[in-house]
Chain A
């Protein structure tokens, strides 16, 4: 059974094909990385996979199920969690409530129960402790630092119990110490059985963290494989350096 793959995925904005017949498959249980020059369509691809944008054509298959064009919350429910480029939290909710927003709800009765029930809170606190910001749980999310917001976003994604986590530039705009912390977290979570798909510009991080790399250029994959192989692929060099 296929894990997560796209077939001929295409999305055009006006005349520009941001994603152009992209056929990509990711490997289960691994840390997959998606790299490519600026404007190569990585984020649009991400948005098509997670349902934020409806692709013009092509399919997205997750665990053998066609999820093309499904609403984002259904894709999230299917087990595909994601973070956003530039990081998005709910600015005027407390850190704790931010995490609680990720609780998986099923059925009306469950939804009408109090949001602050002990089980959920315990789990949320556990996740906050795991990313290391448990001391901030009462602060409003807009009042904590950017790096802390990145960690908070990750905790929220984890609350929704995804099997697969897609991170859009987890190292973007954060200091080296925090990058190290995020990398460690990703490795740990991966060791626990979660699959990652990461869009990232920081090559050092990509090369040290990932098992499988897909290189994007002009809306489609041009190379894929182990980090070391991809690094030496002439097509990749060409795309990056324009030689």
Chain B
């Protein structure tokens, strides 16, 4: 596991080798996949990975949890589709332009939701998806409403389905890699230190001179941009858009679950989470079809993660293992507020 902020627990050489092997396996996946269906599942998981890494620019670096990232992927998808069909722009150019537009739109949204702390950010993130769903469904003239919107394929008709899947798989992997590299660069930069300071204690960060609002806004916009890129790419692959699925709170909560499960503090956490949750979601859909049980399963899993492993499954597993290790010390589960509490008691006692 590449842990973002720990320097040198595992030698760099080993980590590099592990990363190369991992990447090799990922790139070999289309060749190893036994049939086109499995391959298409791979594409879906790769798209989730791109989305989750994009989400983690905000979630991981600042600790602000957005439940409404589907708003940006959906806008990216519709933007791409409309630029192709209405303006006749090249599909790939459309995808990038749409993502840039979404990034620009994220500026006022960020200004409104990041100015005050926490609660209003979450409220806006949810409200945004709900409002876009309303608009996309009502504005049928443009979005096709509930009938959906067809997206022209970027590759010619001579490219068969499995070939399409393979190409898009590599495209999603490439997008994920670009996002990962940028996340890593930010994480280790001074900007990243400031952001993590915000995640830990926003007042304190401000008092040290960190321009918290501007920092949050920067990663918020970056996050919206990458989410929209992934959404646009998905639109090109899937070939049709339906508001219900594009502007879905569920999609947003998948991203949260993936990142939390994998660990928001680590570079590859969201990718690990995307593989686990993405596979589980596809499996569930396949096994139980349309019943509402997948909602129950998702809800229970999310609750378990939030209650028992808010740092992710890998830190949780290591701490569980530590318990059984002889002489291992239990991980201290304290944080700023608890420390403050203890201190208050201490002071009270002194008086």
Contacts and interface: CB of A to CB of B under 8 A. Distances in A.
Are A and B bound to each other? yes
Interface of A: 50-52, 71-74, 76-77, 81-82, 84, 86-94, 97, 100-105, 110-116, 142-143, 146, 149, 156-157, 159-160, 172-173
Interface bin, chain B:
35 or more
14 contacts: A51-B206, A71-B213, A73-B209, A77-B209, A82-B207, A84-B203, A88-B340, A90-B197, A101-B197, A102-B209, A114-B189, A115-B193, A146-B339, A146-B342
B208 A160 contact: yes
Nearest to A141: B200
Contacts of B200: 90-93
Contacts of B290: none
B197 A73 contact: no
Contact of A112 (B190, B197, B339, B342): B190
B197 to A, nearest CB: 4
A93 B190 contact: no
List 9 A-B pairs, minimum CB-CB distance, nearest first: A76-B209, A90-B200, A72-B206, A101-B197, A115-B193, A88-B204, A111-B191, A102-B208, A173-B347
B336 A116 contact: no
A72 B213 CA distance: 11
B190 A88 contact: no
A112 B191 CA distance: 6
Interface string B312-351: 0000000000000000000010111001101110110010
Nearest to A51: B206
Contacts of A86: 340, 343-344, 347
Contacts of A146: 339, 342-343, 346
A112 B189 contact: yes
Interface of B: 5, 7, 185-186, 188-194, 196-197, 200-201, 203-213, 332, 334-336, 339-340, 342-344, 346-347, 350
B206 A173 contact: no
A142 B334 contact: yes
B189 A90 contact: no
Given A76-B206, A90-B204, A115-B192, 9 more contacts: A72-B206, A76-B209, A81-B207, A90-B201, A91-B336, A94-B5, A100-B190, A116-B7, A142-B335
B183 to A, nearest CB: 13
Contacts of B206: 51-52, 71-73, 76
Contacts of B193: 97, 100-101, 103, 115
B207 A76 contact: yes
Nearest to A166: B207
Contacts of B342: 146
A142 to B, nearest CB: 5
Nearest to A50: B207
B190 A91 contact: no
A157 to B, nearest CB: 7
A160 B346 contact: no
A210 to B, nearest CB: 21
A105 to B, nearest CB: 5
B189 A115 contact: yes
Contacts of B201: 88-91
A186 B324 CA distance: 46
Nearest to B350: A173
B196 A97 contact: yes
Nearest to A116: B188
Contact of A101 (B185, B186, B210, B344): B210
Contacts of B188: 114-116
Contacts of A172: 347
A57 B344 CA distance: 31
B213 A111 contact: no
Contacts of B185: 112
Contacts of B343: 86-87, 146, 173
Contacts of A105: 190-191, 194
Contacts of A94: 5
A81 B210 CA distance: 12
B194 A101 contact: yes
A12 B206 CA distance: 23
Nearest to B265: A92
Nearest to B203: A52
Nearest to B335: A91
Q: Which of A93, A156, A160 has the most CB of B within 10 A?
A: A93
Nearest to A120: B190
B335 A92 contact: yes
B339 A52 contact: no
Contacts of B209: 73, 76-77, 102, 104, 160
Nearest to B194: A101
A157 B208 contact: yes
Contacts of A115: 188-190, 192-193
Contacts of B204: 84, 88-90
A89 B188 CA distance: 19
A75 to B, nearest CB: 9
Nearest to B210: A73
Contacts of A97: 5, 193, 196
A143 B332 contact: yes
A142 B186 CA distance: 24
Nearest to A111: B191
Contacts of A51: 206
Nearest to A76: B209
